[in-house]
Structure formats: structure tokens, C-alpha cells
């Protein structure tokens, strides 16, 4: 699936969707941000519940997505220069997000226990990053030799391989009954809410810093090269985070991984803001993407273990929508204010620090609530024990 996405990106490299000129009007960039977020408006309310309750389970959803992507890429090859390309690309983005949500919802059925969730998520992220980068090369070669149609046909072939591979996925039991209100309540549990805020800030930092550097670095003589270095280091840092996350899971828990990601982001952003300059921005891009990668793996594991199985697809769609909105809003802010380099770094640090404060307070509230609940349970057990003795005293011989 990742290879097919990469081939589509290469084939459409000169289209409106993927080549927004940074020297163009800000409104053009804003429109790009709106387009990048729009697919989630469909994923959250419609596709999330569908993934959980489709006849045939989440495996069938992935297979339908693969078939649909094949058809869409072949249609794109026929409409590469026409207006019909726009709805086809939009439909592909919706299906891409559908696959991401389905994949995350399916992972728990492929492992033997919750302790393997981080490792499974990390392997998926690492394999996707490596293979996605490797499959760009043939797509680029076909783009040069044949043109966009060759790269799109190559992408369709990769989605065909994805379809064949999906037949080996686990066939989950279909959840065809009505949603239990208790399951819906669990989607908004305290642990999930606190963790979601932390992940929201990490994703917001990624969106803000990407566009902040895109505008800031172009003011330097080697601005294009510096921005390319920031993008390359970000990709490498993401793969490094995917590789290291399972080892971190052996030492600390998922929630501690999220906390560590926030602390590292805060310290790095504030420290590099003091150094200032373009090189500091490139380094910060690597740190922010590394923290977002390990944080994502920790958060996905929390959702996969805490969210009810009947609402797992809905849960991932809900949170992924929130994260993408945070990314888009933060990117919008970066484009709108176009702050100096070191000021932008400070904003990244304050985003992360605000999440640390919220997380600490939220954790304290949860601990106090759990303490009160434990006291109440002990009181109830004590009262029941006292009442149970009363019949014995009444029936005893005088």
C-alpha cells in the first residue's frame, strides 16, 4: 500500500495537489492545507463505523480499498491532464486514510498480547518507510521514460500485490450488533483523553515546523538545499523512531514514551532557539519527527489496548481526524505569521511544554479519581461484610 501511494505521489508531482509553489499567494497554500484535511471529514463519521461493522471485517475493507485504488490509478492515467483528475485524487486520499485506520484497527489481531503492540506498530512503520522510499526509484524512472501514465500503472500493479497480500490477513469476527453505550464511553476515558492531547501537540509541531522552515529557509542562499536536508532528516528520524520504539517499550510503558517525546521536544526546541539559524532548524526537524514517531507508536498501542474492539476503527478515525486537524491548523498558523526562525522554534517548544503541563495535571486528576474510587470500593466491601454478619447473629442460639 505504501509503495502504491509513493508511486501516485511521484506520478502527480507536477499537479496542483503536490507542487504548491511556496512563492505563490498564501491563499493557495491555505487551499492545499484544506485539501489535505478534507478526507478526514469523511473518514471520521462514515468510514470509522463502517470499518468496525462491515460484512467480512476489517480485512475485507482493506481488500476493497486495494481494488478501488487500482481502479482509481488507472482512471488517473486516462485523465492526467483533465479536470477529472481532481475528484480521482480526492477519492484516493479518502481511501488512503481508510487504509491507515483499518490497518491500525487490525494490528491487535496479529499479535499474541498487548506487550507486542508497540513492536508490531514499529515494524509496520519501519517497513513502510523503507519500502516506500525504495519503490519511489522505479516510479521516478518510469515518470522520466514513459511519463505519469507509466508511474500510475506501476502504482496500480503495487496495489494489486497489496490485494494479494491482504488475503493472508486475519479474518476477524464481524461486529454486527448495536454499539454498547459502555464501549462508546470508553472511547472518552481519561487515559485516552490525556494521551490524545499529547499526541495532538506532537502532530501540531510537525505541521507547524514543516511550513515554518519552508518559508524561513527560502530566505537563504542555499534555502532549497537546506529544506531538502530538513525533509530528508525528518524521514530518517521517523524511521529511527520506528526502529527504537520497541526497545523503549521494554524499558518504559506507552504513557512514559509519550511523556519522553514531549520532554525531548521541549528541551530541543528551546535549546535550538538559543542557537538560532537554519542549521538549528534542520536539526529541530529531525528531533520533532523522531518524537512524533515514537509518540505515535505509544499512542496507537494505548488505543489498541484500551479502546473497545467493537469501536476500534471508529476510535482510530476519531483520533486521526483530530491529529490531522491539529497538523493543518498549526501549518496554517506558520503560513499566516511567518515568524523569524528562532521565534518559530520557541513556538514549537511552548506547544510541547503546554502538553506536558496538561498531561501532568490530567494524570494527577486520574490518580486522585482512582484513589477515591478505591476508597469507595473498600467502604462498600466493608459495609457488605458488616451486613453479612447480621443474619448469623440473629439465627444463633440464645
Domains in the chain, CATH or no CATH each: 1-171 (1.20.1250), 186-382 (1.20.1250.20)
% the chain with pLDDT above 70: 71
> What's the pLDDT band for 356 if we cut at 50, 70, 90?
very high
pLDDT mean across residues, the chain: 78
Maximum average pLDDT range among 60-69, 91-100, 166-175, 323-332: 60-69
What is the CB neighbour count within 10 angstroms for residue 276? Answer: 14
Mean pLDDT calculated for residue range 237-263: 85
Report which of residues 321 and 343 the model is more confident about: 343
> What's the pLDDT band for 344 if we cut at 50, 70, 90?
very high
Mean pLDDT calculated for residue range 171-195: 59
Q: How far is CA 389 from CA 139, 193, 380, 381, 385, in A?
A: 78, 43, 15, 13, 7
Residue 348 CB partners (closer than 8 Å, separation 6+): 205, 208, 209, 265, 269, 284, 288
Three cell numbers, residue 205: 509541531
pTM: 0.71
Mean pLDDT calculated for residue range 350-369: 81
pLDDT of 284 > 60? The answer is yes
> What's the pLDDT band for 219 if we cut at 50, 70, 90?
confident
Would you say 11 and 151 are in contact if contact means Cβ atoms under 8 Å apart? yes
What is the CB neighbour count within 10 angstroms for residue 67? Answer: 16
pLDDT of 18: 46
Three cell numbers, residue 291: 518524537
pLDDT of 261 > 50? The answer is yes
Rounded CA separation 255/249 (Å): 10
Three cell numbers, residue 378: 473498600
* Virtual torsion, Cα 80, 84, 85, 86, nearest 10 deg: 160
Q: For 6-29, how does the pLDDT look when each residue is reduced to its tens digit (9 = 90+)?
A: 888 888 765 544 444 555 545 666
Q: For 54-112, how does the pLDDT look when each residue is reduced to its tens digit (9 = 90+)?
A: 655 667 888 989 999 999 999 998 888 777 777 787 788 778 877 877 777 777 777 77
pLDDT of 393 > 70? The answer is no
pLDDT of 303: 78
Would you say 337 and 212 are in contact if contact means Cβ atoms under 8 Å apart? no
Amino acid at each position: 500500500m505504501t509503495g502504491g501511494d509513493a508511486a501516485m505521489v511521484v506520478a502527480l508531482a507536477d499537479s496542483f495537489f503536490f507542487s504548491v509553489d511556496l512563492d505563490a499567494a498564501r491563499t493557495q497554500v491555505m487551499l492545499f492545507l484544506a485539501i489535505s484535511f478534507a478526507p478526514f471529514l469523511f473518514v471520521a463519521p462514515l468510514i470509522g463505523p463502517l470499518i468496525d461493522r462491515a460484512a467480512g471485517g476489517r480485512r475485507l475493507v482493506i481488500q476493497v480499498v486495494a481494488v478501488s485504488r487500482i481502479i482509481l490509478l488507472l482512471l488517473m492515467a486516462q485523465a492526467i491532464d483533465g479536470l477529472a483528475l481532481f475528484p480521482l485524487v480526492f477519492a484516493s486520499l479518502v481511501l488512503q486514510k481508510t487504509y491507515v485506520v483499518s490497518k491500525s484497527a487490525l494490528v491487535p489481531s496479529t499479535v499474541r498480547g498487548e506487550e507486542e503492540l508497540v513492536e508490531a506498530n514499529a515494524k509496520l512503520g519501519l517497513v513502510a518507510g523503507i519500502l516506500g522510499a525504495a519503490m519511489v526509484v522505479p516510479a521516478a524512472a518510469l515518470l522520466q521514460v514513459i511519463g505519469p501514465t507509466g508511474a500510475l500503472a506501476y502504482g496500480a500493479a503495487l496495489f494489486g500485490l497489496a490485494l494479494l497480500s491482504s488475503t493472508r490477513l486475519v479474518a476477524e469476527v464481524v461486529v454486527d450488533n448495536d454499539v454498547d453505550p459502555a464501549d462508546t464511553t470508553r472511547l472518552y476515558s481519561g487515559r485516552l483523553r490525556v494521551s490524545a492531547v499529547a499526541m495532538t501537540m506532537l502532530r501540531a509541531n510537525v505541521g507547524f515546523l514543516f511550513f515554518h522552515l519552508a518559508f524561513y529557509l527560502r530566505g537563504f542562499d542555499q534555502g532549497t538545499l537546506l529544506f531538502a536536508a530538513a525533509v530528508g532528516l525528518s524521514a530518517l528520524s521517523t524511521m529511527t523512531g520506528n526502529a527504537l520504539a520497541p526497545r523503549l517499550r521494554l524499558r518504559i510503558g506507552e504513557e512514559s514514551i509519550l511523556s519522553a517525546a514531549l520532554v525531548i521536544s521541549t528541551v530541543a526546541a528551546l535549546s535550538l532557539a538559543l542557537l538560532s539559524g537554519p542549521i538549528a532548524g534542520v536539526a529541530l526537524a529531525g528531533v520533532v519527527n523522531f518524537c512524533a514517531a515514537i509518540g505515535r507508536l505509544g499512542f496507537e498501542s494505548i488505543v489498541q489496548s484500551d479502546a473497545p474492539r467493537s469501536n476500534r476503527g471508529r476510535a482510530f478515525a476519531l483520533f486521526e481526524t483530530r491529529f490531522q486537524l491539529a497538523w493543518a491548523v498549526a501549518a496554517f498558523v506558520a503560513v499566516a505569521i511567518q515568524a523569524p526562525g528562532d521565534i518559530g522554534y520557541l513556538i514549537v517548544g511552548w506547544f510541547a511544554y503546554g502538553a506536558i503541563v496538561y498531561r501532568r495535571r490530567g494524570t494527577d486528576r486520574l490518580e486522585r479519581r482512582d484513589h477515591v474510587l478505591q476508597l469507595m470500593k473498600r467502604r462498600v466491601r466493608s459495609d457488605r461484610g458488616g451486613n453479612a454478619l447480621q443474619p448469623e447473629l440473629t439465627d444463633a442460639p440464645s
